[in-house]
Amino acid sequence: MKIGIIGCGHVGAASGYACVLKGVGTEIVMVDRNKDLAAAQAEDILHATPFASPIPVRSGEVADLDGAGIIIIAAGAAQKTGETRLDLLKRNADIFSDLIPQILNASPDAVLLIASNPVDVMTQMVASIAQKTHGINASRIIGSGTILDTARFRALIAAHLGVSSHSVHAYVLGEHGDSEVLHWSGALVGTIPLANFAAQVDAPITQQIRDQVDEGVRRAAYRIIHGKGATWFGIGAGMARLAMAVIGDENALITCSTPTANILGGGEVVCLSYPRIINRQGIIRTLVPEMNQSELDLLTKSALVLSQAAQEIGVADVSSSSYVA
């Protein structure tokens, strides 16, 4: 399956590179308004293919996305030091208003994977534009959401327990940002509840450990941005994982963001992360994990944050009929 990447900065390039390393896709076309940057990134990634998967990688225009099954969107202004993801809203809204119709004209059947921040609101904006201009169902609009936060959560729990992160099953829900909800009550290691497993390996999950993990997950982007200006390796791998789930028709369960009804009641739609089943059609089902009351309250607050942000750019009034229930 042909993959297009829009935006060839750090995140777009890392996404293409991760796809090559993991053997995702049959061709990668990189597009950026800075044509020299797109050409340079494509050439550099192509030179990695003898050491990974021999996927053709080239730069091009939006029109060259014709026939692509997946479009990774990593365009937009970068997050500045000290700036929240929601502060990016107005700077990125104009970019997407022009870009999305061009992409859908070139590749109307593609699944769109959104990485641009603030990713939840940007994903809702893409879904709004796609619905209005091309009648695209939101099941084909997938934001990276908390896929990276979930990976951070699992990695930190695994490090504390001294086990592989592949054995930790835990989710981060809600916003990809400050109001995200770490789903501690549902965390498992293998099939064993987290607290039980932690007691057996003499690594109890104390309040201090919970606070450390929460800080490690919730503030990760800020630390990385302070140190090197942006995050890209983790999210690049996450985008490749989403693309793999689509291409492989996997029915994989992954936390990601798409406009979702029935979170705040009254038929309002808000874009946030839940565990979703993903295959070649996009998102085919949303799973709602059991949460304790504290987690439910925090998720509602997270949804309110995102709803208010969406209202600021006028994407909260789109019909809920095309959204994932």
Q: Give the position of tokens 């700077």.
A: 91
Q: 3-class SS at 278?
A: strand
Cis? peptide before 118, omega within 30° of 0: yes
Q: How far apart are CA 250 and CA 244, in angstroms?
A: 8
198 contact partners, CB below 8 Å, separation of at least 6: 160, 161, 189, 204, 205
**Candidates 160, 176, 183, 226; catalytic one:** 176
Element (H, E) at 152: helix 147-161
SS3 57: strand
Residue 12 CA to residue 17 CA, distance in Å, equals 9
Tokens of 266: 């009254």
State the residue for tokens 């990016």.
88
CB 247, CB 25: distance < 8 Å: yes
Catalytic, 160? Answer no
Let me know the angle formed at the C-alpha of 73 by 127 and 125, rounded to the nearest 5 degrees: 25
Q: How many residues does the chain have?
A: 325
Active site residues: 176
